[in-house]
Amino acid sequence: MRNFIIEKPDEAILPLLREKIDNLTKPRGALGKLEEIAMQIGCIQQTLTPSLRRPCNVIYASDHGITEEGVSQSPREVTRQVIHNFLNGGAGICFLARQHGVELKIVDAGVDFDFPPIPQLIDRKIRKGTRNFLHTPAMTREEMLRAVEYGAEIVSDCHDEGTNVISFGEMGIGNTAASSMWMTCLTGIPLADCVGAGSGLDPEGVRRKRDVLQKSLDNYRGNFEVEDIMACFGGYEMVMTVGGMLRAAELKMTILIDGFIMTNCLLAASRLHPNVLHYCLFSHCGDEAGHRLLLDFLRADPLLRLGLRLGEGTGALCAYPIVDSAVRMINEMHSFSQAAITKYF
């Protein structure tokens, strides 16, 4: 696999950031989580005046062979239909991107459809969907490594264009099933606690999904190493996200983590390079079963709890204004001396 060099941010700057924040015109700690965010971003950027430049949300999209087993409420063709909705500006992520001034990049990682050349759609298709992991690994090791590389390349392009804060989204019918497999294999949390309704399964559908995934787990003959788990059960969009997250951390970008699927991608990335976690802000706790358990496993404190389960990066973009407020706080609030106010704590 590509050799990512991800350094832990130098924490020597933290006392200086704390001093600056404590001398703003407010009681110490009065802005709570905003202060924590400003400290983290200042540490990532190694500056007392952090900035957010050209925010971008990258959506990787792919189909999953496991959908042949009826693990999703939605048919496979929905993946390519939603891609068209992204491109036409009509999806949930689109209004949020417009609202908050976030650029969208849409990447075909492995959609089971022959798109014509579309300037707004980045073609990195590896294959028309993964294989059915009930019977065989979802992808070959070579495909997995290529997906990591493609995901990293997209983030390098974002960085070259001036982006220093990034989030990731996904589209792929069946990817909650794949994410549940990553979660149970990489955390040891029982599979039953990792499986949810996805795009809207009823209780009987959830039971069937859980049974199919249990059979897939029983059939697994790998070594439970993270790269093997990624290849055996992942989606191309998920593996590209892992590569994207690792490259973003390597480039010292701030990463906003979205919902259940993206948190599982971070789980895999952190097993490869634990220092990636220092660059991440967890945007929200979603409504998909297992997400709260996974956040607890990662000792994450999400910014929002809105009952979201759409994916696409929507939770990350909902949280972006809070992150922006934290950066504005440290840069725009006056100190006690600037405001000629007696320090009142």
Between strands 254-257 and 103-110, the pairing is: unpaired
Q: Is the dihedral of CA 83, 87, 89, 90 positive or negative?
A: negative
First to last CA, the chain: 52
202 and 59 Cβ atoms separated by less than 8 Å: no
327 and 38 Cβ atoms separated by less than 8 Å: yes
CA–CA distance from 260 to each of 22, 263, 332 (Å)?
35, 5, 34
H/E stretch holding 184: helix 175-187
Residue 50 C-alpha from the chain's centroid: 22
Measured distance CA(236)–CA(111) in Å, rounded: 9
Q: Coil, strand or helix: which one is 255?
A: strand
Residue 68 C-alpha from the chain's centroid: 26
CB atoms within 10 A of CB 32: 8
Residue 15 in tokens = 């006392």
Q: Could you list the active site residues? A: 312
Residue 114 C-alpha from the chain's centroid: 26
Stated length of the chain? 345
Between strands 103-110 and 121-123, the pairing is: parallel
Q: Which residues pair with 282 in a beta bridge?
A: 257
Closest to 221 in 3D by CA, of 133, 284, 156, 141: 133
Closest to 172 in 3D by CA, of 219, 207, 103, 125: 125
User: Residue 317: phi, psi to the nearest 5?
Assistant: -75, -30
